[in-house]
Amino acid sequence: MKTTLKKYIYELVQLTEQDGDCLRLTKLEGVGPITAVRLKIQLGNGEHFNSGRQVSSYIGLTPKQHSSGGKVKLGSVGKGSCDKPLRSLFFLGPEL
């Protein structure tokens, strides 16, 4: 069992090193091979997002906003309709 897991981890690292996008993502703090591959799969080339804030909101990393009358009130980071497995990878931190 351990040898197959090590084999899959090795293959994942090899694939990450071969893909330019994944390699750039792993240079971000807290992003390892698993998170980089998951981000690439979920976000694609990112053309359907207008800003980084939209990406953060999609993943579930931005605080909920409760604003009215010109007063901005930010609450806690919401779990709402986000990609929970991807979000959890960011909170778990770097892997491997």
Complete DSSP assignment for 43-72: HTT-TT-SSHHHHHHHHT-SEEE--BTTB-
Instruction: Report the chain's C-alpha Rg in angstroms.
Output: 16
Q: Name the amino acid, one letter, at 60.
A: G
Q: Are strands 74-77 and 63-65 parallel, antiparallel or unpaired?
A: antiparallel
Q: What is the pTM of this model?
A: 0.68
Read off the pLDDT of residues 10-39 as tens digits, 9 standing for 90 and up.
898 898 889 998 898 888 888 888 888 888
Helix H or strand E segment including 65 = strand 63-65
What's the pLDDT score for residue 64?
64
Is 96 within 8 Å of 13 (Cβ atoms)? yes
